[in-house]
Amino acid sequence: MCGIGGILYKPASGQRTESVGSQLVNMLDAMAHRGRDSTGVTVSGEDTDCDFIVRIWSDPSIDYKSGFKLAEDRVSSNGGRIVEHKEVNEYLRLGIEFKGEISILARELMSISGIEIHSIGRSSEVVKDVGTGTDLEHRHQVSNLNGTHGIGHVRMATESRVDITHAHPFWAYPFPDITVVHNGQITNYHRMKREYVDMGHRFQTENDSELIAVYLADRLSQGASLQESLKDSQNDLDGTFTYLVSTENGLGVAKDQWAAKPLVLIETEQLVALASEEVALRSIFPGEFERTDPQESEVMTWAI
């Protein structure tokens, strides 16, 4: 059992009293009973002064200065420049100016021993760790991250191991700004993963949820719309699933034909918020609201 949540502010939403990061943490904390192994968020639509935000996890054996120097050398050797950097526990958060092909930059950074990329985005970043939402906030100050939309996940591990890299959200290497959180199990994961590996795609984990991110990124890169990609996934993915996807410009949700994994949402003129349980929505909207329950094989998308 896992829990997922998401929020998107519409273009005319006006002033907000809380950051997207803060609201996601509150929602996930309200669902901590659904999974305490790990927690993570994607915050999208951030204002940045660089071309890409890169979030890197480094093995504890690599000290910050060494990790940064290795990353800096790879970026500069490919015509880029690191314009800002920060260490957060075992993370490096890099702001990079880079005009080349992002797959080249991703490949160069991933070739560094002991380095794993958790996200690359023009205006988004993934923050995840073992523990609860409270733990995530304490270690990473997620409430300082603000944007237009985001998704989050609390995990009770059933298949792959418990560590930072196997926590959700999953970023679709090497496509910027495409991340997924998922509740369920993809039963044709191994076959589809082999097919994508043969096509040249790279996977960073053994978690079946990563397949959804790669699948959607591949469809979007071929010119499909987000709505079309989500609908196609319902035919191509086997198993039980309710998942949320965050892109540079919006948010989407897809449910399987049985709708076995719960999801509730509220939508107003200002925003849309979704979660596995109503208690998560009430953690940020304590007043009265009208909830909707997406049904079997339903697909919904929203744009900023």
User: Does residue 131 lie in a domain region?
Assistant: no
Residues 30 and 94 in one domain: no
Q: Which of 122, 151, 173 is the last residue of a domain?
A: 122
- Distance in angstroms between the alpha carbons of the first and the last residue of the chain: 30
Residue 114 belongs to domain with CATH number: 3.30.70.60
204-259 pLDDT tens trace? 999 999 999 999 999 999 999 999 999 999 999 999 999 999 999 999 999 999 99
Distance CA 84, CA 80 (A): 12
Residues 112 and 218 in one domain: no
Residues 184 and 296 in one domain: yes
User: Does residue 138 lie in a domain region?
Assistant: no
- pLDDT, position 162: 83
User: Does residue 34 lie in a domain region?
Assistant: yes
87-126 pLDDT tens trace? 888 889 999 999 999 999 999 999 998 889 999 999 999 9
Distance CA 40, CA 163 (A): 12
56-77 pLDDT tens trace? 998 888 888 888 999 999 999 9
On whether the CB atoms of residues 15 and 282 are closer than 8 A, the answer is no
**pTM to 2 decimal places:** 0.96
Domain count of the chain?
Answer: 2
On whether the CB atoms of residues 21 and 117 are closer than 8 A, the answer is no
What are the residue numbers of the active site? 2
Residue 13 belongs to domain with CATH number: 3.60.20.10
User: Does residue 135 lie in a domain region?
Assistant: no
Residues 59 and 32 in one domain: no
Q: Is the dihedral of CA 66, 67, 69, 70 positive or negative?
A: positive
Distance CA 253, CA 162 (A): 25
CB atoms within 10 A of CB 1: 13
Residues 269 and 149 in one domain: yes
Q: Which has the closest alpha carbon to 152: 13, 34, 17, 294?
A: 34
Residues 69 and 37 in one domain: no
- pLDDT, position 160: 64
Distance CA 53, CA 176 (A): 9
Residues 40 and 65 in one domain: no
Question: Domain span at residue 269?
Answer: 3-47+143-303
